[in-house]
Amino acid sequence: MRLTDLPLRQPAYVDMIDWSALSPAEGQRLREFGMCEGASVEALHHGGLWGRGPIACKVGRMTIAMRRAHAAAIEVRTGEVRTGEQDVAA
């Protein structure tokens, strides 16, 4: 499922990121935020009065905000993080 569809406060991890849907700069910034395949992720808040606002989510120990267009490029799986690729799981 896409990060945009992930229910709030449901533990999940990143399955796949469609880097081609992001500009090189955006991709780099997301990586710097710790967003990578296998990272633990949790959607925290949806912004905007009409559901078109950004999404705030927790990646590892960091909370970041991104637009839906970015979140749609991130494929996630619910459940605990795969061992071996584990990020700091809170």
Cβ distance to other proteins smaller for residue 66 or 76: 66
Can you tell me whether residue 38 is helix, strand or coil?
coil
Smallest separation, CB 83 to other proteins (Å): 13
Q: How many CA atoms lie within 13 A of 59 on its CB side?
A: 21
DSSP-derived 3-state class of residue 70:
helix
Q: Which is nearer to other proteins, 63 or 78 (CB)?
A: 63
Q: Which residues form the interface with other proteins (CB under 8 A)?
A: 23, 25-26, 28-34, 36, 44-50, 52-54, 56, 58, 60-67, 69-70, 87-88, 90
Cα distance between residue 56 and residue 84, in whole Å: 26
